[in-house]
């Protein structure tokens, strides 16, 4: 019986470690969007490779193109994700996921106006490479969709640093 218990403990550790290894590259994707929400251009650059490529709305962008559109505004961005799939092959990984962001703006309280919120959604995939023992995004492909196109049975989780 003790051998059976030991085997169960070892198997659960392997399964947990394997699941964590699969999810770890995805955390870097979440960190990119968190940095975008914080308008933190240095952190955005820290989580991507020097040759980062973003395929966005039919255009081919590099990191500078992305930085150019991430500017301070009156809106607060909150990020929600659902990981569809993740694969790790040595120092290369790819992930696919649903991405939803809500943008809210606090209205003038003196005029008795409430908060306004808008949801934007994407179906995305990313290729990551391991550099200096850290995952970095090399390519991100983003397809914008209507928020209601995200399947209603999915659990989207908010990511915050």
**Cα–Cα distance between 104 and 37 in angstroms, integer?**
12
Structural domain range at position 72: 2-159
Q: How confident is the model at residue 13 (pLDDT cuts 50, 70, 90)?
A: very low
- Contact by Cβ (8 Å): 121, 98: yes
Overall average pLDDT of the 95-123 stretch: 81
Higher pLDDT, residue 149 or 108: 149
CA-based end-to-end distance of the chain:
43
Overall average pLDDT of the 89-102 stretch: 97
pLDDT above 60: residue 29: yes
- Contact by Cβ (8 Å): 72, 40: no
Q: What is the domain count for the chain? A: 1
Q: What are phi and psi of 38, to 5 degrees?
A: -85, 0
Higher pLDDT, residue 138 or 7: 138
Domain of 142, CATH number, reads 3.10.450.50
Strand partners, 126: 95, 140
- pLDDT recorded at residue 21: 46
Residues 59-87 have pLDDT tens digits of 999 999 999 999 999 989 999 999 999 99
């Amino acid at each position: 019986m003790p051998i059976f218990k030991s085997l169960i403990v070892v198997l659960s550790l392997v399964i947990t470690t394997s699941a964590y290894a699969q999810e770890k590259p995805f955390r870097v994707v979440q960190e990119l969007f968190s940095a975008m929400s914080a308008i933190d251009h240095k952190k955005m650059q820290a989580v991507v490779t020097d040759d980062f490529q973003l395929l966005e709305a039919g255009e081919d962008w590099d990191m500078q193109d992305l930085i150019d559109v991430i500017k301070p505004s009156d809106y607060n961005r909150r990020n929600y994700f659902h990981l569809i799939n993740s694969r790790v092959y040595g120092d290369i990984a790819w992930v696919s996921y649903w991405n939803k962001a809500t943008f809210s703006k606090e209205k003038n309280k003196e005029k008795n106006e409430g908060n306004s919120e808008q949801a934007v959604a994407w179906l995305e995939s990313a290729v990551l490479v391991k550099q200096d023992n850290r995952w970095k995004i090399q390519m991100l492909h983003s397809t914008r969709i209507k928020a209601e196109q995200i399947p209603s049975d999915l659990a989207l989780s908010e990511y915050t640093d």
